[in-house]
Amino acid sequence: MGILTKRRLVRAGAALAGLLLGGTVAATVWAQQLVADLSSHLIAITTGFTGTEVVLFGTTDGAGDVAIVVTGPRGPATVRRKQRVAGMWMNTDSLRFDQVPGFYTVAVSRPLDQLVGRPLLERHQLGLPQLQLPADATLPPDELAAYRSALIRNKQRQGLYAISMGQVAFLGERLFRTNIYFPANVPTGLYNVEALLIRDGDVVSAQTTPLVVSKIGFSAEVSDFARNRPVVYGVAAVIGAIAAGWAAGAAFRRV
């Protein structure tokens, strides 16, 4: 075994330990230019869930700027356009997008346009204008743009795409942190949290951390039941309703 491989093994072990320990970032600092982690890797949606905040924190090996991109699970989405037909507003056209993230937010330590050029912004999908949203059909550019901005506008209204960029705060020169807010209607699934270290107009280091948003407890059982055994669920819902109606009727008999 050569010295090089041994060194690599040690490095990988240290990185793994750093990941496992979560908070103890110091272990990997010498190996990576950027280390970041989340205060929690699981957002549990329980019956009382009203939205939550996750803290992303980390350290860099020196001066530089940090950008954080949070992307929710991707899936198809349809945007429909209404037009006036006989005085009524009805859906006349639609466009399907294939890989629409359910959630998208960016946090930066300095305004993006001061950090990197357009090609890099596009490569890392930094910022809503750079978010890749492939459409299912070919349309004239201006129409495509109208549909695209409508998609983003609707998502922003639901609170799932950030309207403005979040702020990454530096504590001293190396330590940074930012708060990521997830509203109550946050889609479930696997999220990607990407931290980028930017120095002299270039992305010099990147780290991706997974984040799981999942229903837990009663709400998870209900949605699993409804999805996995829909017919039984329907029958149970009807029986429950009859029982509840009957119980209420009986209870009120004496009043």
Partner 1 sequence: MQVYLPIAEMSVNALLVLGMGWLVGFLSGMFGVGGGFLMTPLLIFIGVPPAIAVGTQANQLVAASVSGVLAHWRRGNVDVKLGVVMLGGGVIGTAVGVWIFGILQRLGQIDIAITLSYVFFLGTIGGLMLVESSRAILRRRAPTARRGKLHRHIWLHGLPFKMRFQRSKLYISALLPAGIGAVGGMLVAIMGIGGGFLLVPAMIYLLNMPAGLVAGTSLFQIIFTTAAATMLQAATNQTVDAMLALLLLIGGVIGAQFGTKAGSRLRGETARLALAMIVVAVALKLAWDLFSRPDDLYTLTMGLR
Q: Does residue 43 touch partner 1 according to CB under 8 A? A: no
Q: Which helix (H) or strand (E) holds 17?
A: helix 3-21
Q: Are 78 and 46 in contact (CB under 8 A)?
A: no
Question: How many whole angstroms separate alpha carbon 63 and alpha carbon 198?
Answer: 9
Q: What would the x/- binding string for partner 1 be over residues 131 to 170, using CB under 8 A?
A: ---------------xx--xx-xxx-x-------------
Q: Which stretch binds partner 1 (CB under 8 A): 13-21, 58-66, 127-135, 234-242?
A: 234-242
> How many residues lie near partner 1 (CB under 8 A)?
65
Residue number with CB closer to partner 1 (118 or 157): 157
* Closer to partner 1 by Cβ: residue 49 or 181: 49
Q: Which long-range contacts (CB under 8 A, 24 or more apart) does 132-136 make?
A: 132/99, 133/97, 133/99, 133/100, 134/97, 134/98, 134/99, 135/95, 135/96, 135/97, 135/98, 136/95, 136/96, 136/97, 136/98
Stretch that binds partner 1, among 7-15, 31-39, 117-125, 232-240 (CB under 8 A): 232-240
Please tell me whether residue 87 binds partner 1 under the rule CB under 8 A: yes
- CB of 47 or CB of 132, closer to partner 1: 47
Q: Judged by CB under 8 A, which of 94, 167, 208, 214 binds partner 1?
A: 94
Quickly list H helices, 158-213. none
Residues 147/96, Cβ–Cβ less than 8 Å = no
Is 218 among the residues that bind partner 1 (CB under 8 A)?
yes
Q: Do 29 and 35 touch, CB atoms closer than 8 A?
A: yes
Q: Give the C-alpha separation, 167 to 143, whole Å.
A: 33
Choose one: 3-11, 46-54, 105-113, 172-180; the region binding partner 1 (CB under 8 A).
46-54
Per DSSP, the residues of 131-172 read ----BSS---HHHHHHHHHHHHHHHHHTTSB-SS-EEPEEET
The binding track of 97-136 with respect to partner 1, each residue x by CB under 8 A or -, is ---x-x----------------------------------
Q: Note the residues at the interface with partner 1 (CB under 8 A).
A: 45-51, 75-84, 87-91, 94, 100, 102, 146-147, 150-151, 153-155, 157, 184-185, 187-188, 215, 218-220, 222-223, 226-227, 230-231, 233-235, 237-238, 240-242, 244-250, 252-253, 255
